[in-house]
């Protein structure tokens, strides 16, 4: 097993362990062996900008996290699959801070 695969497997195990007790974050699906792409569900109330310009609220949001071939040297690619109104979230990417 390559170093990258060992890191991906360790990250997968840590996510499963952490999210199993979180209650409000769930791994909906993943692909790869070991996994390098995840669909994550966040069960939190967040604002959503509607097409007419008004704001509503949704209690569930999904995001895609992709750990590219350059991971962990470079950060993951993250994007929301469901709409959310937040200054650090664009349609094509999520600002994840230290990467």
Length of the chain: 99
pLDDT digit string, tens, across residues 4-30: 999 999 999 999 999 999 889 999 999
Torsion over CA: 78, 81, 14, 88 (sign) = positive
58 within 8 A of 80, measured Cβ to Cβ:
no
**Domain boundary assignment for the chain:** 3-94
pLDDT digit string, tens, across residues 26-59: 999 999 999 999 999 999 999 999 999 999 999 9
d(CA 89, CA 67): 18
3-state SS string for 54-83 = CEEEECCEEEEEECCCCCCCCCCEEEECCC
pTM of the model: 0.88
Specify whether domain 3-94 bears CATH 3.30.70.260: no
């Amino acid at each position: 097993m390559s170093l990258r695969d060992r890191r991906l497997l360790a990250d997968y195990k840590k996510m499963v362990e952490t999210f199993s007790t979180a209650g409000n974050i769930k791994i909906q699906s993943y692909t790869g062996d070991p996994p390098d792409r995840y669909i994550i569900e966040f069960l939190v109330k967040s604002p959503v900008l509607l097409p007419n310009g008004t704001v509503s609220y949704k209690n569930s949001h999904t995001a895609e996290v992709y750990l590219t071939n350059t991971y962990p040297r470079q950060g993951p690619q993250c994007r929301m699959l469901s709409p959310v109104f937040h200054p650090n979230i664009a349609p094509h990417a999520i600002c994840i801070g230290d990467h």
